[in-house]
Amino acid sequence: MRIGELAKRVGVSTSAIRFYEASGLLAASARGDNGYRDYGADALKRLQFIQLAQRLGFSLDSLRALFAQNHEHFPQEQILAGLKKRRAEIAQLRAELDAQDAQLERLARECSGTWSRAECLDQDALRTRVGRVRKPV
């Protein structure tokens, strides 16, 4: 199949496919006599895998490392370890977001109680009542 059809079936742009090829995530396609790229079912499966992994938060570098091993099938232990690591990262992010949410809730309560005294946005007053206010990263 040609690059346009592949892109449509996977739901990515043709430039994304070219990028994946250039960066080693997708094997270079064979070219027909007319010079057009010709992709097979393996390319479709690889791109679907890349899309799933990206939706789950895996980096292109981690995928590149996995693909560099040139195994016909990915090692189960490595896949399971990667999934476990990603779940730990998500748990950490969730904990950070929960802490931020709790801080926002305290801030909202403080603002509704101190608005008339103009203390809501006073950093010193907030630190005493709500705790350390983190600057956005």
24 with 66, same domain? yes
- pLDDT the model gives residue 87: 96
Domain at 24, CATH number: 1.10.1660.10
Q: Looking at the domain assignment, is residue 43 inside a domain? A: yes
- pLDDT the model gives residue 109: 83
33 with 59, same domain? yes
Give per-residue burial for 96-133: e unless 16+ CB within 10 Å, then b: eeeeeeeeeeebeebeeebeeeebbeeeeebeeebeee
Q: What is the pLDDT of residues 37-61, one digit of tens each?
A: 899 999 999 999 999 999 999 999 9
- pLDDT the model gives residue 122: 66
- Tokens for 108? 């909202």
Which ranges of the chain have pLDDT less than 50? Answer: 133
- pLDDT the model gives residue 32: 84
Tally the domains of the chain: 2
20 is in which domain, residue-wise?
3-74
14 with 42, same domain? yes
66 with 102, same domain? no
32 with 69, same domain? yes
Q: Looking at the domain assignment, is residue 135 inside a domain? A: no
Cα maximum dimension of the chain: 78
Q: Looking at the domain assignment, is residue 82 inside a domain? A: no
